[in-house]
Amino acid sequence: MKAIVAADKNWGIGYENKLLTSIPSDMKFFRETTMGHVVVMGRKTLESLPNGLPLAGRTNIVLTRDTNYKVKGAVIVHSKEELLEEVKKYEDENIYCIGGGSVFELLLPFYNTVLVTKIDVAYQADTYFPNLDKLPEWEMTEEGEEQTCFDIEFRFTKYERKEV
């Protein structure tokens, strides 16, 4: 399983259930990377998407504790165990966790790769991704060229779990 995330200097990823910023090339990268694959997310992340609807062209799996929660076009699971059972139906390299913070953290032990758009700004955030630079089992294996969108500098990076 992989994770795909845009994070600021402090590994902040969101504030009040919204992304910290919108970078068109990051959105394009996200869309192209996840299209045709499986995206795993929490309920609040689903509700933060346009119109609160599942992402088109992808298999959407939503984790929620609410046993009555239903969404047309999404597979709903209610526990980590149920989620892990559900994702066994798909090829591991085609599964992307897309948030939010608690789901990213819950599934961290199951990722082999994390694609991080690193944004060179510190925003006000209330949701964070674990700081992979401080976790010994992770290493940055790719770092793209610095890019600029308006006045925001960012780069696409890839982290991989070290072989133990």
- Cα–Cα distance measured from residue 65 to residue 42, given in angstroms and rounded to the nearest whole number: 10
Residue 122, token pair as written in the block: 């510190």
Neighbouring CB atoms inside 10 A of 128's CB total 16
Q: Can you give the pLDDT at residue 62?
A: 98
Residues 134-141 have a mean pLDDT of: 97
Reduced to 3 states (helix: H, G, I; strand: E, B; else coil), residue 45 is: helix
Place 120 in a pLDDT band, splitting at 50, 70 and 90.
very high
CATH of the domain at 24: 3.40.430.10
Residues spanned by the domain of 135: 2-161
pLDDT band at 163 (very low <50, low <70, confident <90, very high): confident
Q: What is the DSSP string of 68-123?
A: T---TTEEEE-SHHHHHHHHTTS-GGGEEEEE-HHHHHHHGGG-SEEEEEEESS--
The count of domains in the chain is 1
Model pLDDT for residues 39-84, shown as the tens digit of each residue: 999 999 999 999 999 999 999 999 999 999 999 999 999 999 999 9
